[in-house]
A and B are shown apart, each in its own frame.
Chain A
């Protein structure tokens, strides 16, 4: 798919909270062999949001970083999408809180999107359409999650917190990267879900592999390459959704991408799976280093299920924009290790009385 008018990424920015819960610590509590999980998942630890953070607060910091790089006035932003499966409210849009915090609006679109880990790239597709049609000048797409797995469940080792924001605008060499095209690929594949009222999600374990992640990631990517007439060797960087540190490596091998192209955008081993922020945080890390002329593939995956696949070419404007905000690795490197008890306290596993949180 290509919009009638070309679009570019003007700004990118991320936020990863400083707290880290290691796979070793979760294993200690549940009596597992830490090496087993570290190796199997290729994840060492995950980022955990603090007690005064949620997907709204993280979205705001990521968006401030992105807007700083975009050098765009809040009044010029005409759409705000927040993709998350852990919004602070079941009913009350995070997007309006984020818009107010940034000074965007009132003349703006704003909505929350849900599609598990691809809600962020869904917002990106919507922003591309709105900007490409000329309906809005700039669109802000954010993926933000404070994901949780059930106690002792294997998702608990990787479900993490983080946010990334992208500012989309009309195509320009002054921007950071221009969009060559995108594809979305969906089907009703129930690999991971959460019913209303259930505290933690359910999932199909092995079912989340072949019929879910791989079918959609590879299906979307192949369709994109075919549409654009590109091959894996045309890409300098590739970023896949990264529920753990293994699946992306397998997908890359299946599709014919070299593992070295994956390296910069693969952050799960250090921060876990930040769900709706995962693939776009990898993309943000790539834009932190990529040079003009380089080509980047981004393919997300969301359970339930689907993938959005994009091809971007980095443009000249990226160098001037890059230093205007913190880098993903600045957040990744700021690390404060916590134990399982503090993790429960921070993420609401222990309820305090009388309205205390």
Chain B
């Protein structure tokens, strides 16, 4: 990942931001310069709720490059408290039952990946089961 490609998305990754369309009122993620529902350009950045629940999930054992250290790890679609869905990685899953559909989760700021030993560290939000 090039430096600018990472840097452009820092706000969305660090603070879990989406956009709210001032024209149709819908909130969406990830942030775009136009509304994916009505295609208006009149959008503003909004912070999304940090709590939600798991909609579907998968425990991943064959990782893409750079994620070997986390295996096995969960990826999931999370529905946040305002109904907006995001895709993300889960972390700190300690229950022996693991994760289920409906497990409540909260967003936490974590390391996502690194560009080798000398490159940038990529940060972002992961989701941790509550409690």
Q: Verify whether A and B have any Cβ pair under 8 Å.
A: yes
Interface size of B as a range: 20 to 34
A122 to chain B, nearest CB (A): 24
Contact between chains at B69 and A355 (CB < 8 Å): no
Nearest chain-A residue to B115 (Cβ)? A355
Q: B10: which of A54, A100, A336, A345 is its contact (CB, 8 Å)?
A: A100
* B26 on interface, CB distance cutoff 8 Å: no
A103 to chain B, nearest CB (A): 6
* A354 on interface, CB distance cutoff 8 Å: yes
Q: A357: which of B15, B69, B108, B126 is its contact (CB, 8 Å)?
A: B69
* B4 on interface, CB distance cutoff 8 Å: no
Contact between chains at B10 and A357 (CB < 8 Å): no
* B66 on interface, CB distance cutoff 8 Å: yes
Given known A-B contacts A355-B114, A356-B69, A100 and B109 have beta carbons under 8 A apart: no
Q: Max chain B CB contacts within 10 Å: which of A56, A57, A356? A: A356
Instruction: Report the Cα distance A55→B47, complex, angstroms.
Output: 24
Contact between chains at A101 and B15 (CB < 8 Å): yes
Q: A18: which of B66, B92, B114 is its contact (CB, 8 Å)?
A: B92
Contact between chains at A356 and B67 (CB < 8 Å): yes
Contact between chains at A345 and B69 (CB < 8 Å): yes
Instruction: Report the Cα distance A294→B68, complex, angstroms.
Output: 50
Given known A-B contacts A101-B123, A354-B65, A52 and B111 have beta carbons under 8 A apart: yes
Given known A-B contacts A356-B65, A356-B69, A50 and B92 have beta carbons under 8 A apart: yes
A86-106 with Cβ < 8 A to chain B: 88-89, 97, 100-101, 103
Given known A-B contacts A97-B123, A101-B14, A52 and B116 have beta carbons under 8 A apart: no
Given known A-B contacts A355-B115, A356-B69, A60 and B109 have beta carbons under 8 A apart: yes
Instruction: Report the Cα distance A102→B108, complex, angstroms.
Output: 12
* A53 on interface, CB distance cutoff 8 Å: yes
Contacts of B115 in A (CB 8 A): 355
Instruction: Report the Cα distance A112→B65, complex, angstroms.
Output: 31
* A61 on interface, CB distance cutoff 8 Å: yes
The DSSP consensus for interface residues of chain B is mixed
Contacts of B66 in A (CB 8 A): 354-357
Instruction: Report the Cα distance A205→B110, complex, angstroms.
Output: 35
Instruction: Report the Cα distance A356→B65, complex, angstroms.
Output: 7
* B70 on interface, CB distance cutoff 8 Å: yes
* B103 on interface, CB distance cutoff 8 Å: no
Contact between chains at A88 and B121 (CB < 8 Å): yes
Instruction: Report the Cα distance A57→B116, complex, angstroms.
Output: 19
* A107 on interface, CB distance cutoff 8 Å: no
* B91 on interface, CB distance cutoff 8 Å: yes
Nearest chain-A residue to B17 (Cβ)? A103
Instruction: Report the Cα distance A100→B7, complex, angstroms.
Output: 11
Instruction: Report the Cα distance A60→B111, complex, angstroms.
Output: 12
B interface footprint on A5-28 (CB within 8 Å = 1, 0 otherwise): 000000000000010000000000
* A256 on interface, CB distance cutoff 8 Å: no
Instruction: Report the Cα distance A51→B68, complex, angstroms.
Output: 11
Instruction: Report the Cα distance A101→B109, complex, angstroms.
Output: 8
A154 to chain B, nearest CB (A): 28
B interface footprint on A40-52 (CB within 8 Å = 1, 0 otherwise): 0000000000111
Nearest chain-A residue to B67 (Cβ)? A356
Q: Max chain B CB contacts within 10 Å: which of A57, A97, A352, A354? A: A57
Contact between chains at B126 and A52 (CB < 8 Å): yes
* B46 on interface, CB distance cutoff 8 Å: no
* B113 on interface, CB distance cutoff 8 Å: yes
B10-63 with Cβ < 8 A to chain A: 10-11, 14-15, 47
* Contacts beyond the supplied A103-B15, A357-B114: 4 A-B pairs with Cβ under 8 Å: A97-B123, A100-B11, A100-B15, A355-B114
A-B CB proximity, top 7 nearest: A355-B116, A356-B68, A60-B109, A52-B110, A101-B14, A52-B111, A357-B69
> Please, could you name 19 A-B residue pairs with CB atoms under 8 Å apart, sorted by A?
A18-B92, A50-B91, A52-B111, A52-B112, A54-B121, A56-B123, A57-B108, A57-B110, A60-B109, A97-B123, A100-B11, A101-B123, A352-B69, A355-B115, A355-B116, A356-B65, A356-B66, A356-B67, A357-B111
